[in-house]
Structure 1
């Protein structure tokens, strides 16, 4: 999730665990710090944009390592807060603020390596967009209420309510995702599309509109479904995956990493003498965040670039915004291309 959501979650968790045992501002401040710490791995440059992408949300997002870190970190926070006798409670607060960060991240589609050091599998439920105000606002309101109230019963209750509402919103997202998945499978089958892989993930900033990607051989099909849509019909657009180009890049580290990290939701294309690989999970046709140039044409061969180049695109904001909310409300308008 975005940094503001993680700060808000960490602060709310800190306040909930510490309660009246310390000043609300201390619990919120240290919770916010703990909620931010896992994302500091973005400051590490692995020397290549693809490696930077796939190695984000790795060790710093693994509950095993975060648990080990929480022990000395919680003791340090207790000492800095002048509450050494409460070190166990501070450890618990910091541990929960730390581990809820990757658990929330895993609800997005990106990929969080929760199982390190035992497995580097990137887990991603994909039931909430990376930025969603409906998730973040209850946390902010509840924590701010607690801060303004100075730790009174009502303030702490408001903070707890913010945590309950935000968690309930995540549960709603999982339900909506499963509902759209069922509709999409039926619609694909009705159109004779046999999906080898199926991705259902929310469009930006909401959980009303969902994007569906079905991979079938050398093509992928993209469609959109609002929970407010009526009837079982869904429209899908077909796009080439460029699988014929795979033999030219299958030995490249970057191509292998994207193929694995995206769980097979990738496409290849050759444009202007360069070969590109795209993670199809984040963005929508034709604008994707993670698109990389990995090789260039020299004669009859594709020669790997020394370092991959990220060429992510974003759609025209005005057109995309207008379409997004009309489509989310159930209007059958085609996506901007």
Structure 2
């Protein structure tokens, strides 16, 4: 989730655990700071754009490493405030702040490597968008009340946590309802095997995006909870005819493993790109990378770099709002603005 949400969750968890043993303000500040720590891995240089993507939410989000570092952070806080007598409470608070950060991230699409160093599998339930105000606002409301009214603040903070957790549960139930609708509508034994993805669109849990990926391409459709039993209409996107060669490149295999197979391949004149289909919609993908060039003697890999596109989050949210109101409109594809590596002699 976004940094504001993680800071709010960390603060709320810390207040709930140590609010009786320390001041609410101290608990909230330390909770917010520790709740932000795991995401500082974005400042680590892993060498290339793809590595920085697939290694985000790695070691810093591992439940194993978080469990090991929690007592040290708690000891430092206790030393700072001379509260050694409350070490166990601070230890529990720090551990819960770190663990809930990673578990909340697991509900999003990106993928969180919870079990490092034993496994680098990226867990993703994909039931909530990476930014969702309806999850964050109850946390902030409870914290603000607790900050201003400490004598009644613990109850308000608990209510904020309960409301946000309830919304998280709602996102899972809504997702399962959409999956049920899609599978009921698409029960066709003659259809070729495909990977199915159901995820919320930007900033909401009312309009859901459905992706079906097979070896030839992918279908994209949308289902609003206001649709009832109305059938989902899918738009077919075909991969380039060179896709089998593209899939064999090492970088494509890395992205395929990370995205659980939801990789799209696109051709822009002589340039081939790949994108994580889970993050974005209708040609607006947050993570699209240059992959290969079409040359006279075949497809040759090129220097991998993330393409420069404007990620239209606000536009996608406005589109989703219109879609929920049954106003069918299209979303303009973001324009590829990167320098085309196929115009140079770079390759590898």
Q: 1:279 aligns with which of 269, 276, 279?
A: 276
Q: Secondary structure at the match of 2:186?
A: helix
Shift of 1:29: 0.5
Structure 2 residue aligned with 1:165: 163
Shift of 1:241: 2.9
Structure 2 residue aligned with 1:111: 111
1:229 aligns with 2:224: no
**Deviation sequence 1:156-189 (CA, Å, 0-9, x none):** 0000010011001000000000000011112223
Structure 1 residue aligned with 2:55: 55
**Deviation sequence 1:183-220 (CA, Å, 0-9, x none):** 11122236964452100000011101100001133121
Q: Measure the CA separation in 1 of the matches of 2:83 and 2:280.
A: 47
5+ residue gaps, structure 2, are 333-348
Q: Measure the CA separation in 2 of the matches of 1:255 and 1:46.
A: 17
Q: Would you say the 8 A contact 1:269–1:276 is kept in 2?
A: yes
1:176 aligns with 2:174: yes
Q: Measure the CA separation in 2 of the matches of 1:15 and 1:32.
A: 10
Shift of 1:89: 0.9
5+ residue gaps, structure 1, are none
Structure 2 residue aligned with 1:210: 208
Q: 1:255 aligns with which of 238, 242, 252?
A: 252
Structure 1 residue aligned with 2:33: 33
Structure 2 residue aligned with 1:126: 126
Q: Measure the CA separation in 1 of the matches of 2:111 and 2:65.
A: 17
Q: Would you say the 8 A contact 2:290–2:303 is kept in 1?
A: no
1:333 aligns with 2:325: no
User: Would you say how many aligned residue pairs link Structure 1 and Structure 2?
Assistant: 332
Q: Would you say the 8 A contact 1:293–1:311 is kept in 2?
A: no
Q: Would you say the 8 A contact 1:243–1:268 is kept in 2?
A: no
Shift of 1:321: 4.2
Q: Would you say the 8 A contact 1:127–1:177 is kept in 2?
A: yes
Distance change >3 Å, CA 45–CA 316, structure 1 → 2: closer
Structure 2 residue aligned with 1:323: 319
Provide TM-score, normalisation by structure 2: 0.91
Q: Would you say the 8 A contact 2:202–2:317 is kept in 1?
A: no
Provide TM-score, normalisation by structure 1: 0.93
Distance change >3 Å, CA 88–CA 239, structure 1 → 2: same
Shift of 1:312: 4.1
Q: Secondary structure at the match of 2:227?
A: coil
Shift of 1:324: 1.6
Q: Measure the CA separation in 2 of the matches of 1:170 and 1:199.
A: 18
Q: Measure the CA separation in 2 of the matches of 1:305 and 1:112.
A: 29
Q: Measure the CA separation in 1 of the matches of 2:314 and 2:26.
A: 39
Q: Secondary structure at the match of 1:212?
A: strand
State the superposition RMSD in angstroms: 1.8
Structure 1 residue aligned with 2:79: 79
